[in-house]
Amino acid sequence: MAGRRRAWGSLVLLLPVLLAVLVGCGGQPESDRAAAEVQRVLDRRAAAVLDRDESAYRATGEPSGRAEEFTRLRAVPLAAWSYRLTDLHHSGDRATADAELRYRIEGYDKAPVTAARTLRLSRSGGTWHVTSDEPAKKTGEQLWEQGAVKVVRGEHSLVLGVGQSGERLRAYAGLADRAVPAVSKAWGADWSGHVVVLVPQSLEGMAELLGAPASGYRGIAAVTTGEAAGSAKAPADRIIVNPEAYGILGDFGKQVVLTHETTHVATRTHTNPATPLWLSEGYADWVGYRGSGRTAAQVASELVGAVRDGRVPAALPDDEDFGFTGDAGRLAQAYESGWMACRMIADRWGEARLNDFYRAVGDHEKRAGAVEGALRDVLHTTPEEFTEQWRAYLRDQLES
């Protein structure tokens, strides 16, 4: 009996020791404690970025580490910068953290832009230090990861570039400043009225910003990022330029491209999965060419050849026809087909009705029935009638 009491007594004495090992000092689980410490380091790092405090920023990294990101960010007008730790894997004095970076550009982003990041840390002297901060897998880089950022402010634009001259960035700002009022005149004033343009050094830089292979964007002059159907509080989209494809365009082509992409920024809150690409891309092209005096035959060269050969498309293009990796002629014909459809609506029903049609499709929120409902309610027609009218419009505008 006495031996049993001694065994139980030993177990009772061991329990607090085991609990201390599992929980750690202070009664907090070791994993929670490490996560809290890492979050505090990330908070200090974010504060240093916003305060432009290089010494404080360096203190969050390895003592011998460089502060390249901090240096490259100097010119970017940041209004907010923060990290939210989402996961932590650590073993001893090494850790890998998954975090969400949230930042806002002052005067342009109404809400934070988010980016998934993977950070690696080491612990020395009881303090965690960041050893690397990289994009999470299958996500894009941020522009400042490609080099020092130059900034040019326009009247309606902010242009951020890497490896570009100030003169070239000012030219982009001029194009964007002309695009914004042109878009507002066509679409209306219910959008931010400004754009952010990112100009990397090369096609590869563009692809890295998008987190995609460069081959898919080789002939693409620019793209617009951002969630479709964002709320009114959503951040501004980014227009990302491919300097190689954009650079070979003439002045007119450059302006059309920037106006097209700016249209995507303006219409984004009314664009969602219900909106087919023939409408969103066709409308953006319609705004881009609006008031230019260019004829249908001058713009829709791929369709001209098809129509004059008796190959009038049987239907409006599917979303798949707009894939960047497909046949270049097929892609061009898809864009031209969408543009001609929007041009026809503006010609026959009026520009105001075209805008109403675009908004009505987006208001549906789901693809099924969206176009059909807008055709019925706004244009008072059916998909079959609209398609036949569009095919006849192609012949009328392009055959001669």
Q: Which of 137, 172, 189 is the last residue of a domain?
A: 137
Using one digit for the tens of pLDDT, what is the confidence trace for 278-297?
999 999 999 999 999 999 99
Residue 41 and residue 25 share a domain: yes
CATH of the domain at 234: 3.30.2010.30
Residue 129 and residue 205 share a domain: no
pLDDT greater than 80 at residue 324: no
Residue 364 and residue 244 share a domain: no
Per the domain annotation, does 315 fall within a domain?
Answer: yes
Tokens of 167: 């003169």
Residue 177 and residue 117 share a domain: no
Per the domain annotation, does 321 fall within a domain?
Answer: yes
Confidence (pLDDT) at 216: 84
CB 97 within 8 A of CB 118: yes
Question: Distance between CA atoms of 10 and 18, rounded to whole angstroms?
Answer: 12
The domain total for the chain is 3
H or E element, residue 91: strand 78-91
Per the domain annotation, does 127 fall within a domain?
Answer: yes
Per the domain annotation, does 12 fall within a domain?
Answer: no
Q: Which of 137, 161, 185 is the last residue of a domain?
A: 137
The torsion angles phi and psi of 350, rounded to 5 degrees, stand at: 105, 155
* Mean pLDDT estimate for the chain: 89
Per the domain annotation, does 14 fall within a domain?
Answer: no
Residue 307 and residue 235 share a domain: no
Tokens of 213: 């292979």
Nearest to 134 by CA among 182, 101, 163: 101
CATH of the domain at 131: 3.10.450.50
SS3 (DSSP) at 369: coil
Residue 35 and residue 133 share a domain: yes
- Average confidence (pLDDT) over 191-213: 95
Instruction: Specify the pTM.
Output: 0.87
Residue 120 and residue 33 share a domain: yes
* Structural domain range at position 179: 140-267
Confidence (pLDDT) at 326: 63
Per the domain annotation, does 2 fall within a domain?
Answer: no
- Average confidence (pLDDT) over 249-267: 96
Total count of residues recorded for the chain:
400
pLDDT greater than 50 at residue 323: yes
Residue 71 and residue 188 share a domain: no
CB 166 within 8 A of CB 146: no
Could you tell me which residues are beta bridge partners of residue 224? 239
Q: Which of 248, 267, 286 is the last residue of a domain?
A: 267
Task: Return contacts of 25-33, CB within 8 angstroms, 24+ apart.
Answer: 31/88, 31/90
Residue 288 and residue 249 share a domain: no
Residue 216 and residue 321 share a domain: no
Per the domain annotation, does 317 fall within a domain?
Answer: yes
Residue 263 and residue 312 share a domain: no
CB 152 within 8 A of CB 176: no
Per the domain annotation, does 342 fall within a domain?
Answer: yes
- Among the listed ranges 23-37, 101-115, 188-202, 301-315, which one has the minimum average pLDDT value? 23-37
Using one digit for the tens of pLDDT, what is the confidence trace for 149-178?
999 999 999 999 999 999 999 999 999 999
Nearest to 337 by CA among 391, 382, 257, 266: 391
Residue 331 and residue 311 share a domain: yes
